[in-house]
């Protein structure tokens, strides 16, 4: 029987979990459904008590009557429970109340008849049964007052009958008053409990009603998270595709431009006809302008991807600014514009700056100022103020007397692909990327940039940049400086490139400096040539089919041979992978970008040959 009780409890728990949102009538009926074994057990206890008190026939009759009443009641309750969902609470309680009263009357009448005999044992049995029935009435009717009174009334009446029958009038009166008081108090308690339970029931049903909405919100949140994850992954893939595309396009554009500019520079060196020389200058300038556009696009890509690093190093600020202005001097003279540099005494001698990126910003600002100024002057002004211990706030201004910028165009001036001059003719050209890149670079360095301008009077571009002070670097070794400055000629150089045009450019360019050039068009061919004879220098292309330049270098350094410690200069049209420092970290002696610029290549060769003897000594 114990096992059946637990199985029934589990079934009820499962049903309660499944039946969400039950009415008060349904809950009341559900609380009255009990296994018949329960009733048999407790009915047997009362019958056994009567037998023990000397009433075997009454015990047997009581047991039979109790079981009959319970069987009929349970059958009716179960039948009503099946249709309770469609039955209004009021109608359901109206038919349930008489059943509860009849069931309770069937319980109390047999034991009351026995107790009327006046014996203490029978009276005590009846009182204990009455107390049990009151507890049952309370527990079974917590949600319905009518059901409580249907259960309670037969018990109270039976107690009243017993009091009148066995007590004297005055004692009976006192007991009846006490019974009335207890009945009223119990009724008031049931009133409060019923109200509280009904409020909890209403709140529970409201919460249950929210479950579908919460599930829908959860499903929507899960779907949105999945969509966000998919979009994030798609964005990552798009970013990788963009980076790969830019790297590929950079290489594919720079490779043919290497042939165009390389040959143009060679022709310009040998050309004596001024007209032809001017035409070649235009050709070279146009090619370099195309490359500057490509570099701007690559810088934008690096900034967007967070892969553009600021690398501060000690720099002589005055020399830095003087060289900057000196570069633009010929252009200013050509236009008849005065180019003025003003450096205040407050500017420190040495500070930590990323010279490459700050030069890029100032080149853009000074270049724009000269572009938009036909008469007057362009001034580069520098001053500084203390900015805490060991730091200054550098203020740079590029001021011109050019055409100026309309006030309504100033807010969009640093937006990509936006220019101050939006006329159809676009007299001054440009991509509209320069100022945007300048602003982002300054912000990456922790500063800010802004512009002031009046149409017809000129413009001033301001930069404020926090800088840490730096000590002057140790003076250069005069012997090393002498070696570095010494002209190089007659070197035995191996040029490695899978592109025939690039090899032709390198061959003719190096030959013009009296170098002896051997050529290889693949990594395998290069390694074979390196085993045949020693070379003073190796120029090695990075992106080659079959074996990359990095793999060639690794094999060269990893095996014995006449060129194991030879200086190797990386030649690459890929400028998206980290620049010169990346290739130095990979073990190259130097780096030179494509398209080849004669002076840049010669400087790289000169530096490589200066470093090579020191490395050879260290290797030895």
- Which structure tokens are listed for 510? 């190096």
Rg of the chain over Cα atoms, rounded to whole angstroms, equals 50
Both structure tokens of 211 = 């479950």
Mean pLDDT check: name the lowest of 182-191, 291-300, 589-598: 291-300
pLDDT of residue 3: 47
User: Does residue 483 register a pLDDT over 60?
Assistant: no
Q: How far is CA 169 from CA 23, 122, 181, in A?
A: 47, 21, 18
Q: Cβ of 324: how many Cβ atoms within 10 Å?
A: 17
pLDDT at 136 over 70: yes
Q: What is the mean pLDDT of residues 55-68?
A: 86
For 294, half-sphere exposure in the C-beta direction (CA atoms, 13 angstrom radius) is 24
* Predicted local confidence at residue 417, as pLDDT: 57
Taking the CA atoms of 330, 333, 339 and 340 in sequence, report the sign of the dihedral they define: positive
Indicate the pTM of the whole model: 0.52
- Kindly tell me if the per-residue pLDDT of 437 is higher than 90: no
Q: Which of 534, 612, 509 has its CA nearest to residue 567?
A: 612
Per-residue pLDDT at 619: 45
Contact 138, 190 (CB under 8 A): yes
Lowest mean pLDDT among 72-76, 306-310, 462-466: 306-310
pLDDT tens digits along 338-350 = 999 999 999 999 9
Cβ neighbours around 92 below 10 Å, total: 22
Between the ranges 14-28, 214-228, 249-263, 400-414, where is the mean pLDDT highest? 214-228
Q: Are strands 590-593 and 568-572 parallel, antiparallel or unpaired?
A: parallel
Say what the pLDDT of residue 391 is. Answer: 92
Q: What is the residue-averaged pLDDT of the chain?
A: 81
Question: Which residue would you say has higher pLDDT here, 197 or 511?
Answer: 511
User: Is pLDDT of 1 > 60?
Assistant: no
Instruction: Give the sign of the dihedral formed by CA 480, CA 482, CA 484, CA 490.
Output: negative
pLDDT exceeds cutoff 60 at 485 = no
Stretch among 69-83, 132-146, 330-344 having the lowest mean pLDDT: 132-146
The arithmetic mean of pLDDT across residues 183-211, rounded, is: 75
pLDDT for 610? 84
Q: State residue 613's pLDDT score.
A: 57
Residue 21 scores a pLDDT above 70: no
Match domain 479-619 to its CATH number in 3.40.50.2300, 1.10.10.60, 2.60.120.10, 3.90.1150.10.
3.40.50.2300
pLDDT on residue 91: 83
pLDDT tens per residue, range 23-52:
777 877 887 888 888 888 888 888 888 888
pLDDT at 620: 44
pLDDT for res 172: 84
Residue 453 pairs in a beta bridge with 459
Residue 420 tokens, joined? 């101050």
Confirm if 335 and 392 have CB atoms less than 8 A apart.
no
Token pair for 233: 């992954």
pLDDT of the residue at 596: 80
Mean per-residue pLDDT for 355-382?
90
CB atoms < 10 A from the CB of 57, how many? Answer: 9
Report the range out of 175-179, 253-257, 517-521, 593-597 with the highest average pLDDT: 517-521
**CATH hierarchy code of domain 312-469:** 3.30.565.10
Mind listing the pLDDT tens digit for each residue in 200-219? 767 777 777 778 888 888 88
d(CA 188, CA 194) in angstroms, rounded, equals 10
Residue in 508, 255, 278, 463 with CA at minimum distance from that of residue 360: 463
**Residue scoring higher pLDDT (520 or 271):** 520
Single out the residue of 535, 400, 368, 382 nearest to residue 467, CA to CA.
Answer: 382
Which stretch of 289-298, 352-361, 443-452, 489-498 has the lowest confidence by average pLDDT? 289-298
Is the pLDDT score of 481 beyond 70? no
For 344-428, strand residue ranges (E) read 350-353, 377-386, 391-400
Instruction: Pull the structure tokens for residue 567.
Output: 């200086």
Q: pLDDT for 243-283, tens place per residue?
A: 677 667 766 777 777 777 778 887 887 777 888 888 887 78
Instruction: Specify which of 268-277, 471-480, 517-526 reaches the highest per-range mean pLDDT.
Output: 517-526
Residue 186 is predicted with a pLDDT of 79
Q: pLDDT of 157-169, one tens digit each? A: 888 888 888 888 8
| pLDDT over threshold 70, residue 124 | yes
For residue 474, the model assigns a pLDDT of 64
Tokens 């001021």 correspond to 399
Which token pair is 30?
């559900």
Structural domain boundaries in the chain:
2-166, 312-469, 479-619
Least confident range of 69-78, 172-181, 264-273, 348-357: 264-273
Q: What contacts 362, CB < 8 A, 6 or more positions away?
A: 324, 380, 396, 398
Q: What percent of the chain has pLDDT over 90?
A: 19
Q: What pLDDT was estimated at residue 316?
A: 92
């Amino acid at each position: 029987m114990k096992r059946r009780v637990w199985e029934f409890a589990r079934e009820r728990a499962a049903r309660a979990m499944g039946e969400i949102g039950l009415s008060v009538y349904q809950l009341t009926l559900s609380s009255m459904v009990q296994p018949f074994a329960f009733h048999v057990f407790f009915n047997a206890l009362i019958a056994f008590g009567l037998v023990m008190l000397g009433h075997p026939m009454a015990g047997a009759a009581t047991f039979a009557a109790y079981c009959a009443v319970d069987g009929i009641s349970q059958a009716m309750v179960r039948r009503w429970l099946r249709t309770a969902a469609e039955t209004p609470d009021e109608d359901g309680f109206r038919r349930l109340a008489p059943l509860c009263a009849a069931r309770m009357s069937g319980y109390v009448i047999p034991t009351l008849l026995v107790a009327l005999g006046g014996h203490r044992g029978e009276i005590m049995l009846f009182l204990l049964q009455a107390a049990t029935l009151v507890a049952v009435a309370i527990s079974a009717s917590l949600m319905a007052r009518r059901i409580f009174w249907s259960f309670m009334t037969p018990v109270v009446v039976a107690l009243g009958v017993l009091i009148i029958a066995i007590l004297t009038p005055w004692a009976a009166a006192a007991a009846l008053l006490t019974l009335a008081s207890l009945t009223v108090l119990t009724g008031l308690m049931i009133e409060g409990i019923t109200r509280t339970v009904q409020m909890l029931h209403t709140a529970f049903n409201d919460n249950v009603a929210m479950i579908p909405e919460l599930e829908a919100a959860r499903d929507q949140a899960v779907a949105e998270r999945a969509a966000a994850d998919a979009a994030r992954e798609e964005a990552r893939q798009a970013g990788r595709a963009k980076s790969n595309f830019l790297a590929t396009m950079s290489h594919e554009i720079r490779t043919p431009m290497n042939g165009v500019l390389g040959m143009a520079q060679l022709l310009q060196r040998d050309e004596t006809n001024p007209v032809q020389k001017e035409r070649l200058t235009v050709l070279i300038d146009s090619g370099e302008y195309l490359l500057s556009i490509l570099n701007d696009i690559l810088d934008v890509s690096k900034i967007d991807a967070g892969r553009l690093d600021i690398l501060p190093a000690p720099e002589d600020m005055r020399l830095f600014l003087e060289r900057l202005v000196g570069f633009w001097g010929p252009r200013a003279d050509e236009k008849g514009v005065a180019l003025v540099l003003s450096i205040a005494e407050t500017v420190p001698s040495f500070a930590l700056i990323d010279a490459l990126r700050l030069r890029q910003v100032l080149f853009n600002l000074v270049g724009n100022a000269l572009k938009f100024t036909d008469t007057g002057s362009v001034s580069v002004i520098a001053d500084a103020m203390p900015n805490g211990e060991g730091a200054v706030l550098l203020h740079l201004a590029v001021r011109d007397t050019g055409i100026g910028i309309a006030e309504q165009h100033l807010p969009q001036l640093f937006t990509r692909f936006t220019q101050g001059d939006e006329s159809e003719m676009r007299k001054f050209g440009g991509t509209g990327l320069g100022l945007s890149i300048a602003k982002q670079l300054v912000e990456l360095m922790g500063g800010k940039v802004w512009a002031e301008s009046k149409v017809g009077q000129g413009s001033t571009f301001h930069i404020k940049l926090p800088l840490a002070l730096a000590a002057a670097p140790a003076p250069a070794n005069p012997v090393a400086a002498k070696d570095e400055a010494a002209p190089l000629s007659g070197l035995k150089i191996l040029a490695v490139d899978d592109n025939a045009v690039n090899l032709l450019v390198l061959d003719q360019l190096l030959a013009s400096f009296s170098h002896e050039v051997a050529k290889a068009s693949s990594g395998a061919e290069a390694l074979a040539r390196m085993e045949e004879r020693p070379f003073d220098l190796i120029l090695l292309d990075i992106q080659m089919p079959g074996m990359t330049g990095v793999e060639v270098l690794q094999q060269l350094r990893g095996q014995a041979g006449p060129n194991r410690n030879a200086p190797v200069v990386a030649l690459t049209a890929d400028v998206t992978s980290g620049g010169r420092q990346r290739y130095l970290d990979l073990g190259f002696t130097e780096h030179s970008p494509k398209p080849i610029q004669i002076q840049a290549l010669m400087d790289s060769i000169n530096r490589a040959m200066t470093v090579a003897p020191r490395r050879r000594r260290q290797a030895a």
